Amino acid sequence: MITIGWKKLALGLAVSGSLFLAACSDGEDKSTGGEDSGSSSTATLEIGIEEGYIDFVNEIVPKFEEEYDVTVKVTERDLFDTLEALPLDGPAGLAPDVMIAPYDRIGNLGQQGHLAEVTLPDDGRYDDVDEQQVTINEKVYGSPFVIESLIMYYNKDLIDKAPATFEELEALTEDEQFAFKSESGKSTAFLANWLDFYNSYGLLSGYGGYVFGDVGTNTSDIGLNSAESIEAIEYATHWLKDIWPQGMLDSTTSGNFIDEQFTTGKAAAIIGGPWSANNYKDAGVNYGVSTIPTLPNGENYQPFAGGKGWIISNYAKNKEAAQNWLDFVTNDENQQLLVERNAEVPANQHTREIVSQGDDELTIAVINQYNSAVPMPNIPEMAEVWTGAATLMFDSASGNKTPEESANDAVKVISDNIEQKYE
């Protein structure tokens, strides 16, 4: 599983807010293969991707060139720098024809006119959730490529099996081996970075809360202060205020605190992303991976459904070749190769079904958790949610506000910002 932690970089970025940052930079543009294939074809295609996908793409390019009579140039580019620069680099002829983008960036770029519409193959490789990830205003702007979801890690040296319910997690906090020595009555048996909205959303959604109504499109219907959301905030406040050490209330360091407790054997279970797996492996943790336990209300934890898709620049000269590449790189054969080369979870449903029958705990956990995950709204207004919900949990857990006040204030900030900027 690739370890770039895309979501930490993507959250809260509004594409239009920082386009000029990359405009004056020539960026990272290293030719890495396929540039001089000897083909006599006049059709050319530039694929701009980050380092982690170079070997995978170069391995399948020759077959694509032969099948479609296209000359491919593969360049190494930073994912987010490329996306930020596209609105200016595209018209200047400096952007690649095809690239990869996190799902939460595709809707914005498409709506702003920087991406070409694409056609998804009607062969069963995608389901409705997959298509929703790359669709805005009924227009499709990308081909789903990989999926990601928060999952649970647990230390096999400390507990025999993954907890199945939050009641089991609460019971673990009574075990003295997980007592936080410097703070009486506090426990590190289970930890989750619920100060961070990306991490806490699965709790809110599992209780019945939501960001925007109508499947993430109705910005006049914000569900973060519903009765269900407030109940979730109350439950999170119980952990943050009554069970966890003070270090969990510091939004700037709580993530590092969790990693430290888990890698040093002081936490039995944590919620985290698949991008952290290699770090825990390198730290020597004998960890297992599972879906996140069932919530006290009996419902599944419902985190954001993350991942990345292939996109086509609206400034590409050969959109037909670009569309052929999207269909080719996401077919069953190449998605299986992606699993073998990059150990990522494919979006392709056929390949996903095959790997779900394997023995890789991380892959299986991501697939199973993704089944209850919620696609992140991919409309521009989502940027205001990250701002408005930034202190949603902290305000309640710190005692500055009641859970209801915290929720109402967050929704007011979101609503006011949307009204000022988008209406």
Q: Could you tell me whether strands 71-76 and 44-49 are parallel, antiparallel, or unpaired per DSSP bridges? A: parallel
Sequence-separated (6 or more) residues with CB below 8 Å from residue 24: none
* pLDDT of res. 14: 39
pLDDT at 128 over 50: yes
pLDDT value at 250 more than 90? yes
Predicted confidence at residue 40, as pLDDT, reads 44
Q: What are the backbone dihedrals phi and psi of residue 248, each rounded to the nearest 5 degrees, phi first?
A: -80, -10
Paired with 254 in beta bridges are: none
The lowest-confidence range among 9-18, 39-48, 188-197, 342-351 is 9-18
Q: Which three-class secondary structure string do you get for 121-184?
A: CCCCCCCHHHHHHCEECCEECCEEEEEECCEEEEECCCCCCCCCEHHHHHHHCCCHHHECCCCC
Alpha-carbon distance of 102 to 379, in angstroms, equals: 13
The percentage of the chain sitting over the pLDDT mark of 90, rounded to a whole number, equals: 89
**What distance in Å separates the CA atoms of residue 420 and residue 411, rounded to the nearest whole number?**
14
Confidence grade of residue 42 (pLDDT, cut at 50, 70, 90): low
Q: Residue 394 phi/psi, 5° resolution?
A: -60, -45
Q: How many CB atoms lie within 10 A of CB 370?
A: 22
Q: From CA 246, how far away is CA 209, in angstroms rounded?
A: 27
Phi, psi for 148 (deg, rounded to 5): -145, 155
- The answer to whether residue 232 scores a pLDDT higher than 70 is yes
Q: Which CATH class is domain 151-302+381-422?
A: alpha beta
At residue 423, the pLDDT reads 74
Please report the pLDDT score of residue 18 as a whole number: 39
Residues 68-97 have pLDDT tens digits of 999 999 999 999 999 999 999 999 999 999
- Cβ-Cβ contacts under 8 Å for 403 (sequence gap 6 or more): 230, 233, 234, 237, 396
The DSSP letter of residue 301 is: P
8-state DSSP, 74: E
- Token pair recorded at residue 387: 């701002």
Type of residue found at 91: P
Average pLDDT over residues 393-403: 96
Checking if the pLDDT of 35 tops 70, the result is no
Residue 419 φ/ψ, nearest 5 degrees: -65, -40
Contact 396, 237 (CB under 8 A): yes
Cα–Cα dist 260/180, whole Å? 13
Q: What is the mean pLDDT of residues 379-388?
A: 95
Pick the more confident residue, 323 or 343.
323
Every domain of the chain with CATH number 3.40.190.10 lies at 6-148+306-375, 151-302+381-422
- Tell me if residue 345 falls in helix, strand or coil: strand
**Spatial separation of the C-alpha atoms in residues 144 and 84, rounded to whole Å:** 20
Task: Tell which residue, 405, 88, 52, has the closest CA to residue 237.
Answer: 405
Stretch 189-207: mean pLDDT: 98
Q: Beta strand 190-191 with 287-290: parallel, antiparallel or unpaired?
A: unpaired
pLDDT mean over 353-377: 95
pLDDT tens column, 270-288: 999 999 999 999 999 999 9
The whole-model pTM stands at: 0.86
pLDDT of residue 52 exceeding 90, the answer is yes
Cα 169 to Cα 149, 190, 422: the distances in Å are 20, 6, 42
pLDDT above 90: residue 16: no
- pLDDT surpasses 70 at 5: no
Among 228, 211, 247, 185, residue whose Cα is nearest residue 403 = 228
- What does 239-276 look like in DSSP terms, one character per residue? IIIIIS-GGGG-TTTHHHHHHHHHHTT--SEEEE-GGG
Report the topology of domain 6-148+306-375: D-Maltodextrin-Binding Protein; domain 2 (3.40.190)
Half-sphere exposure of residue 96: CA atoms within 13 angstroms, side-chain side: 30
